Amino acid sequence: MKSTLTSVALAAVVVAATAVAAVPASAAPAKTAPARCHTADLKAGFALGDDAKPEMGQSEKQTQASIWFTNRSNRTCTLSGFAGVDMIGAQKTDGTWSLARSSKAPVTMTLEQGDTVDFSITLLPVAASTPQKEKFVPAKFLVTPPNETEHFTLSWPFGGQILKQDAATHPGTYLNPIGM
């Protein structure tokens, strides 16, 4: 009788061990995706290299300036969507201009510690001879990372003027999403 009980108990242990070993890999805990980047995780600035400078001295076509975000935290994080950008003008009549977004679809960018990603601002410069009421003279940019409320204050380093279209439905000056 002991031998039959021992055999049944041993068989139960073997079946249980086989069941544990047969757990599919998909049931294993999933690796969690990185959280989004917060303003405190980042530093920001204008891209200043020769090939990155917008052509503000011309008025025949649009040009682009780029703003970068670098992950300065000790964790991996993501950015997706559009930054918020408010331009503050140098002229008393300029005020603040909140830039419209392009129709480009955003993608999610993953930033490990020290990684940098940028986004571009398409600008429509005008000639210096343009009447003052038709031009916006950038002085500062308030740049808010996507889904955040705190911003960076960046001084505009490139000079020039932009055609003032702060109330236009489809302005010639607008934002592109992070990574574009």
In this structure, what CATH number is given to the domain that contains residue 144? 2.60.40
Whether 7 maps to a domain, the answer reads no
Asked if residue 139 is part of any domain, the answer here is yes
In the numeric block, the tokens 């002229």 are attached to 91
Domain range for 160: 39-175
The closest alpha carbon to 99, from 177, 41, 158, 39, belongs to 177
Question: Quick check: is 82 in a domain?
Answer: yes
- What letters, b where the CB count within 10 A reaches 16 and e where it falls short, cover 157-172? ebebbbbbbbeeeebe
Is 1 part of a structural domain of the chain? no
Query: Whole-prediction pTM value?
Result: 0.81
Confidence (pLDDT) at 112: 97
Q: How many structural domains are present in the chain?
A: 1
Say if 20 falls within a structural domain: no
Cβ contact 83:146 at 8 Å: yes
Are 2 and 10 in contact by the 8 Å Cβ rule? The answer is: no
| 40-79 pLDDT, tens digit each | 999 999 999 988 999 999 999 999 999 999 999 999 999 9
pLDDT for the residue numbered 166: 86
Under 8 Å between Cβ of 125 and 132: no
> Is 3 a domain residue?
no
Interval 96-117: pLDDT, tens = 999 999 999 999 999 999 999 9
Q: What is the pLDDT of residues 124-166, one digit of tens each?
A: 999 989 998 999 999 999 999 999 999 999 999 999 999 999 8
Q: Residue 102 domain-assigned? A: yes
Residue 126 covered by a domain: yes
Distance CA 100, CA 85 (A): 9
